[in-house]
């Protein structure tokens, strides 16, 4: 029986409720009056506290996703863009993945790291290699990483992951520093989540892959990840362990996207109902070609237009949740979804173990790679491209370092203080990038952008201080934040 407050996976992701929501969406997909009401409910509203958005239930959002009336779809895209502007402005946060180890005991049929793949070389970084990778990432200009590892209690125990996090945070190379380490490792125990929390991680990210239990069990035929309930309930354990920024996601292409979409929002509603705070981020990965993996072997691939609609509907349904897109997607596809709600993207990524150190920007090792990277541009190129499109690439990590996690981050969003806080933080971290790592063309574009954007800080005191900090960065000081 469906119960968002239950701690049992099969009750908060109740299959019957997902199916009933899809049925309701199908019946109402041409109900103009209802769709207009839903769009109105989700629109940003001025309140005594600032700008607020009500969000949508999984049923309401499913109606939007099912709707194919052209003018209403256009309205959805406009609304997604308005919500994005209200809470995220034109800032796009940058990050890179760091693959620690591809040893894995699971048998995920879509992932080349699966245990039975004997053609892929297995590799695990030593602490010295972690250091070299981090230096290479710092030299590109990265400040925020997402660490990735297969699940293997012998080769990648929690102690190994913790040691890597410690190494990553300890490295100061020239003006470089990794200031936030997000962690994407397999579901684990409350005790291990506590250890990750104590190690100072940012977001704990775990993709559900698919919420459809029967498919999930077929796609994960053996290994610890086979256990649907243990995997689906991981975020509750993470929150119990003290991690209040968690990142959800499904791997689009495995199951029917409408099912995944409704269930993903039910998961978000569950976290809100039980822990009082929804997911910090939602990722939208799509299945990609990889060693031993042919995406065409899976029936549920989605085209770029459907993908864009999913992004827009997520943005409308959970307005305060960041949305992440990786280099799995091409430049063209990324361009489209940036406008519709994506707030974080990776740049210059390598998805192989040890893929950064010792390789030139245009060289990429494929032997231990997890999936093909579509967007192969360097970080400098992505930064310049974003600015040319009118976005502010941000390397900010301030919220979590200032303790603004979980619902404290949400209240910053709601009270509209973002323009006095996130906006200057984005400009200051961009300035650091321009001073330390940018090419001359990127620097020129960025300096002009910073000058213009500084004037948009509404609070006079904050504006004056931000200008002072930016001048100080030019003089060689680093790491200012609001």
Residues that bind ligand SAM (CB under 6 A): 110-111, 148, 150-151, 184-186, 206-207, 209, 225, 251, 285, 287-288, 290, 293, 328, 370-371
Q: Is 220 helix (H, G, I), strand (E, B) or coil?
A: coil
Structure token digits, residue 144? 């925020």
CB nearer to ligand SAM: pick between 120 and 316: 120
Q: Give whichever of 156 and 420 is closer to ligand SAM, judged by the CB atom.
A: 156
Nearer to ligand SAM, 183 or 410 (CB): 183
CA distances from 194 to 128, 162, 201, 230 (A): 26, 11, 10, 17
Q: Provide CB contacts within 8 A for 471, sequence distance 6+.
A: none
Residue number with CB closer to ligand SAM (370 or 394):
370
What is the nearest approach in angstroms of ligand SAM to the Cβ of residue 155?
A: 12
Q: How far is the CB of 41 from ligand SAM (least distance, A)?
A: 32
Residue nearer to ligand SAM on the CB measure, 56 or 146: 146
What CA–CA distance (Å, rounded) separates 433 from 426? 11
CB-nearer residue toward ligand SAM: 83 or 199: 199
The burial of 185, by beta-carbon neighbours within 10 Å (0-12 exposed, 13-18 middle, 19 or more buried), is given as: buried
Residue 389 Cβ vs ligand SAM, minimum distance, rounded to whole Å: 25
| Distance of alpha carbon 473 from alpha carbon 446, whole angstroms | 14
Nearer to ligand SAM, 278 or 285 (CB): 285
What is the rounded distance in angstroms from the CA atom of residue 179 to the CA atom of residue 36?
A: 43
Q: What is the helix (H) or strand (E) element at residue 64, kind and residue range? A: helix 58-66
Handedness of CA 272, 334, 285, 201 (dihedral sign): negative
- Residue 210's nearest CA partner among 245, 256, 246 is 256
**Cα 385-389-391 angle, rounded to 5 deg:** 90
Nearest to 390 by CA among 444, 454, 338: 338
Smallest distance from ligand SAM to CB 223, Å: 9
Closest CB 296 distance from ligand SAM, rounded Å: 12
Give the pairing type, strands 50-52 and 45-47: antiparallel
User: Smallest gap, in angstroms, from Cβ of residue 74 to ligand SAM?
Assistant: 30
Cβ 115 to ligand SAM shortest distance, Å: 12
Give the gyration radius of the chain's Cα atoms. Answer: 21
Residue closer to ligand SAM, measured from CB, 38 or 206? 206
Q: What are phi and psi of 91, to 5 degrees?
A: -85, 140
Q: Which is nearer to ligand SAM, 307 or 480 (by Cβ)?
A: 307
Least spacing, CB of residue 185 vs ligand SAM, in Å: 6
CB of 295 to ligand SAM, least distance (A): 7
Closest Cα to residue 171, out of 125, 196, 137? 137
């Amino acid at each position: 029986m469906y119960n968002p407050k239950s701690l049992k996976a099969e009750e908060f992701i109740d299959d019957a409720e997902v199916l009933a929501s899809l049925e309701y969406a199908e019946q109402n997909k041409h109900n103009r009056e209802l769709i207009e009401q839903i769009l109105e409910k989700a629109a940003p509203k001025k309140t005594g506290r600032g700008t607020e958005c009500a969000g949508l239930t999984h049923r309401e959002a499913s109606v939007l996703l099912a709707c194919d009336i052209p003018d209403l779809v256009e309205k959805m895209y406009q609304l997604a863009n308005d919500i994005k502007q209200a809470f995220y402005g034109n800032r796009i946060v940058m990050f890179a993945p760091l693959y620690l180890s591809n040893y894995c005991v699971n048998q995920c049929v879509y992932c080349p790291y699966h245990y039975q793949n004997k053609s892929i070389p297995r590799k695990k970084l030593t602490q010295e290699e972690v250091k070299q990778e981090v230096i290479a990432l710092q030299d590109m200009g990265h400040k925020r990483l997402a660490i990735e590892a297969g699940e293997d209690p012998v080769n990648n125990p929690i102690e190994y992951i913790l040691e890597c996090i410690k190494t990553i945070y300890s490295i100061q190379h020239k003006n470089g520093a990794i200031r936030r380490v997000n962690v994407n490792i397999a579901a684990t125990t409350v005790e291990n989540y506590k250890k990750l929390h104590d190690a100072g991680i940012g977001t704990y990210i775990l993709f559900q892959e698919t919420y459809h239990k029967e498919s999930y069990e077929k796609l994960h035929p053996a290994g610890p990840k086979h256990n649907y309930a243990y995997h689906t309930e991981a975020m509750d354990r993470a929150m119990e362990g003290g991690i209040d920024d968690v990142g959800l996601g499904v791997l689009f292409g495995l199951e029917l996207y409408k099912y995944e979409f409704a269930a993903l929002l039910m998961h978000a509603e569950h976290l809100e109902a039980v822990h009082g705070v929804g997911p910090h981020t939602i990722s939208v990965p799509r299945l990609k070609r990889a060693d031993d993996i042919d995406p065409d072997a899976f029936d549920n691939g989605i085209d770029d237009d459907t993908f864009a609609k999913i992004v827009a509907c997520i943005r409308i349904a959970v307005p305060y949740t960041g949305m992440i897109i990786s280099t799995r997607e091409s430049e063209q596809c990324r361009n489209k979804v940036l406008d519709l709600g994506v707030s974080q993207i990776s740049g210059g990524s390598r998805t192989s173990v040890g893929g950064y150190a010792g390789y030139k920007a245009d060289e990429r090792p494929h032997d231990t790679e997890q999936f093909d990277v579509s967007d192969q541009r360097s970080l400098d190129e992505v930064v310049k491209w974003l600015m040319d499109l009118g976005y502010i690439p941000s390397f900010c990590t301030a919220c979590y370092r200032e303790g603004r996690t979980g619902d404290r981050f949400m209240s910053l969003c709601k009270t509209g203080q973002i323009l006095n806080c996130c906006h200057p933080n984005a400009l200051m971290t961009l300035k650091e990038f321009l001073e330390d790592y940018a090419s001359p063309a990127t620097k020129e574009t960025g300096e002009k952008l910073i000058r213009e954007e500084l004037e948009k800080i509404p609070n006079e005191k904050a504006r004056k201080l931000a200008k002072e900090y930016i001048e100080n960065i030019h003089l060689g000081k680093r790491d200012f934040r609001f």
